[in-house]
Amino acid sequence: MSLLVVGTMAFDELITPFGESGKIIGGSATYAALSAANFADDISIVSIIGEDFPQAKLDLMQSRGINLEGVEQVSGGKTFFWKGKYHNDMNTRDSLDTQLNVLADFEPIVPESARDAEYLMLGNLTPAVQMSVLKQMTKRPKLVIMDTMNFWMDVAMPELKEVLKEVDLLTINDEEARQLSGEFSLVKAAKAIFEMGPQYLIIKKGEHGALLFHKEEVFYAPALPLEEVFDPTGAGDTFAGGFIGHLADSDEVSFESMKRGIIYGSAMASFCVEKFGTHRLVEIDRKDLHNRVMRFIELTNFDMKLK
Amino acid sequence: MSLLVVGTMAFDELITPFGESGKIIGGSATYAALSAANFADDISIVSIIGEDFPQAKLDLMQSRGINLEGVEQVSGGKTFFWKGKYHNDMNTRDSLDTQLNVLADFEPIVPESARDAEYLMLGNLTPAVQMSVLKQMTKRPKLVIMDTMNFWMDVAMPELKEVLKEVDLLTINDEEARQLSGEFSLVKAAKAIFEMGPQYLIIKKGEHGALLFHKEEVFYAPALPLEEVFDPTGAGDTFAGGFIGHLADSDEVSFESMKRGIIYGSAMASFCVEKFGTHRLVEIDRKDLHNRVMRFIELTNFDMKLK
C-alpha cells in the first residue's frame, strides 16, 4: 500500500567517542523512508532541501523506490543543518550548531500522486506543517502516525493538540508522554493521551525498548542489548519507518500487526546505530533482517510451563 | 530444595505521595524470604534484630514456613531502622534517617541446619559478612546468588571482588553494573563481570525490566507497566526472592529455569509495590500469581509469522 512520509531532510555532522562523521545526510524523513523501503514499495516523501543536497543521495533514495516528487529543492537555498556531539554514554548529546536554512519557510505541498496515500507518517515538525499536510489529503488515510517532541509542547501546545485530534497513533518518548499528559504513570499517561485523539500510543524508551498501548492492551518490546552503539542519530525515525513500512506492506491495521511492526522497527533501529548516518539502512538485506528478528525472538522468549 | 537467605531485617518508615507507612517491618531478608515462601518450602534466614522486633511478625514469617533459627535477637538491642521519603516520580528518594543499631556488630552465624542449604542468597550487606556466611557452608550450594550496591564498590571493592569469585549469579542495577565493570555497554559490562567470577548476571532496571546474561545468551524481561506504584520499597529484594524461590522449588539451575525465575520474581515485585511494606507478599495466593504471570505473557507475546 502507498506510504507518505513527511519530515526533514538534512545535513548532520556528528561527533561521537568513536570518531567524526563529517557532513552526512540525515533528517527524519530520510531515515524513516530509507528504513520503510526495506518493507514497502510505494513510498513518497514530502520535505524541503537546498541546492546543496547531493544528487547522488537523491538518486540512491529513488533507487530504493522512494518517490521524491514532493521534495522541494530551493534554488540557491541551503539544507537544514545540525551538528551535535555525543557524550561517552551515547545517550546524551549537545547541539553544537543548528541552521534551519530552507526549513524555516517550509510550506509543504503534497503532490497529486500522494494525496490518497493509505499510510501517512507525520515526522517531528512544527504542528502547523503537520496540519497542512493532513488538510491536503484527498482521502482519510487508513493510518496516520505522528512523531513530536517536548519542544512543540513548550511552544505550540494548542496547535499540537489540534493535530493530535486527527492522528491514529502517536510516537513519543517517556518524558514527553509525561509532559503531554501530566501523568507520571505511563499507563495513566496513555489513557490521558487517548482522550486527545490517538487510539494507539507508542512510548519509545531508547535502550529500554518501547511500549505499545491500545485501549486496555499493552505490549512491551525490548531493545536489543548491543555491544557497541556507534551512532544513535536517527534511531527513533528508523524505528518509526520500519514500523509503518511493515504496516503499509502487510496492509493490516491491528494490535497484532503493530506488535510485529515494533519488532521490525526495533530491528531496523538496531542496525541503524551500527554505523554513522543512514549507511546500514541501505546495506542490509532480507537475510540480515530475518536473523536480527530471530535475535529479538530469542531475547524475549520464555516458557512458563503453566499447566 | 533448601534455601538460605542472608540479609537485613529492619524497621522502615516510608513517606510517599500517597501517605505515610508509620514504622513497619522491612529489610532485604524479610522481603526476599516472604517472596520466596510463595514458591519454596524449606527456607532459613540468617540475620540480626533487636528486642524491639515484633513477635507477631516473627510468628507470621514462621507460619509461612520460614526457619528463624539463624536470626539473632539481641537483648536490649534495637533493630536496624531506615526512614525515607519518595519523590513524586516514586523512582527517587531521600534517606531521612538511618540507624544501624544491632546491624553495626553483625557477625552472622549459620545454624547447623542451614549449612548444607542447596540454594544461597547473599542479600546486600557488607562483603565481609557475605564472605563469612560462605565460609560457614559445609558444602558448596548448587547456586549462590548475591546482591550488592554501589556503596560497597566505593568503600570495599577488594573484599567485594573476593566474594564475587565465589558467586554464581550477581544481581545489580544498570548503574552498578557500569561502575563495577567500567564499561558503559551492558553487554560489555556482563563480559567483564563474568571474568570476576559469576557465570550469570541479572541487571535490574526497575520500571524498565531486567536483563539476564549467561555466556553469549541474553534474556530481557519487561516490568509490568503499572497504573500506580504505591510503595517501591523492597521491590528488588522481592524480585530476587521470587527468582531464587522458584529455582529452589524447581531445583533446576539452567538459563531456561532462570528465565521463568525472572518472570516469577517480576510478578512478585509487581505485587510488592501495590501496598506498603511486605503486606502483599503474604496476601496473594496461587491464583493471583498465575493471573499476574499471564499478564506478563500477554505483555511480551508476539508472532512474527516468519516462514
Residue A158: per-residue pLDDT: 97
Q: Tell me how far apart the alpha carbons of residues A260 and A266 are, in angstroms, rounded to a whole number.
A: 10
The pLDDT tens digits of the residues spanning A23-57 come to: 999 999 999 999 999 999 999 999 999 999 999 99
Residue B89 has pLDDT above 90, yes or no: no
pTM for the full model? 0.94
State whether residue A188 sits within 8 Å of chain B by CB.
Answer: yes
pLDDT value of position B153: 96
Mean pLDDT of B87-105: 90
CB atoms within 10 A of CB A88: 9
Domain that holds residue A75: 3-300
Q: What is the mean pLDDT of residues A198-222?
A: 96
Set of chain A residues whose Cβ sits within 8 Å of the Cβ of B298: 217
Closest among A52, A47, A103 to A70, alpha carbons compared: A47
> For the segment B194-251, what is each residue's pLDDT rounded down to a tens digit?
999 999 999 999 889 999 999 999 999 999 999 988 899 999 999 999 999 999 999 9
ipTM for the assembly: 0.91
Residues of chain A with C-beta less than 8 angstroms from the C-beta of B255 = none
Nearest CA in chain B to A217: B299
Q: Convert the pLDDT of each residue in A177-203 to its tens digit.
A: 999 999 999 999 999 999 999 999 999
Question: C-alpha distances in angstroms, B251 versus B119, B247, B254?
Answer: 9, 5, 10
Helix, coil or strand: residue B15:
strand
Distance from CA of A78 to the nearest CA of B (A): 37
Of the candidates A226, A259, A302, which has its C-beta nearest B260's C-beta? Answer: A302
Q: What is the pLDDT of residues B74-84, one digit of tens each?
A: 999 999 999 99
What SS3 class is residue B19? strand
A216 inside 8 A of chain B by CB: no
| Under 8 Å between Cβ of B247 and B236 | no
Has residue B305 been placed in a domain?
A: no
Chain B interface includes A85 (CB < 8 A): no
* Min distance A267 CA to chain B CA atoms (Å): 12
Q: Rounded mean pLDDT of A105-112?
A: 96
Q: What is the C-alpha separation between A100 and A106, in angstroms, rounded?
A: 10
Does residue A215 fall inside a structural domain? yes
Q: Say what the pLDDT of residue A307 is.
A: 63
- Asked if A185 is an interface residue toward chain B (Cβ–Cβ < 8 A), one would say yes
Query: Which residue in the block uniquely carries the three cell numbers 526476599?
Result: B32
Does any domain span residue B28?
A: yes
pLDDT for residue B166 is more than 70: yes
B263 neighbourhood in chain A, CB within 8 Å: 302, 304
Chain A residues lying within 8 Å of B303, measured CB to CB: 256, 259-260
Please compute the mean of the pLDDT values over residues B109-120 and round it to a whole number: 98
* CATH number, domain with residue B198: 3.40.1190.20
Q: Which of A302, A305, A306 would you mutate first to test chain B, the one with the most B CBs within 10 A?
A: A302
What pLDDT was estimated at residue B154?
96
Question: Measured between alpha carbons, how far is A148 from A170 in angstroms, rounded to an integer?
Answer: 8
CA distances from A44 to A60, A136, A282, B232 (A): 14, 14, 17, 48
Closest to B270 measured CA to CA, from B210, B225, B300, B204: B225
Q: Please report whether residue A305 resides in a domain.
A: no
Q: Is residue B12 part of a domain?
A: yes
Is residue B195 less than 8 Å (CB to CB) from chain A? no
CB contact residues (below 8 A), chain A span 268-287, against chain B: none
Structure confidence at residue A136 as a pLDDT band (50, 70, 90): very high
Count of all residues that appear for chain A in the document: 307
Residues of chain A contacting residue B226, judged by C-beta atoms under 8 Å apart = 185, 187
SS3 labels along chain A: CCEEEECCCEEEEEEECCEEEEEEEECHHHHHHHHHCCCCCCEEEEEEEECCCCHHHHHHHHHCCEEEEEEEEECCCCCCEEEEEECCCCCCEEEEEEECHHHHHCCCCCCHHHCCCCEEEECCCCHHHHHHHHHHCCCCCCEEEEECCHHHHHHCHHHHHHHHCCCCEEEEEHHHHHHHHCCCCHHHHHHHHHCCCCCEEEEECHHHCEEEEECCEEEEECCCCCCCCCCCCCHHHHHHHHHHHHHHHHCCCCHHHHHHHHHHHHHHHHHHCCCCCCHHHHCCCHHHHHHHHHHHHHHHCCCCCCC
Residue A108, pLDDT > 80, answer: yes
What tens digit of pLDDT does each residue of A49-83 get? Answer: 999 999 999 999 999 999 999 999 999 999 999 99
Domain for residue B175, yes or no? yes
In terms of Cβ atoms closer than 10 Å to its own Cβ (0-12, 13-18, 19+), residue A276 is buried
Residue B145 inside a domain? The answer is yes
Do A226 and B185 count as a contact with CB atoms less than 8 A apart?
yes
Per-residue pLDDT at B21:
95
What is the per-residue pLDDT for B307? 63
Number of domains in chain A: 1
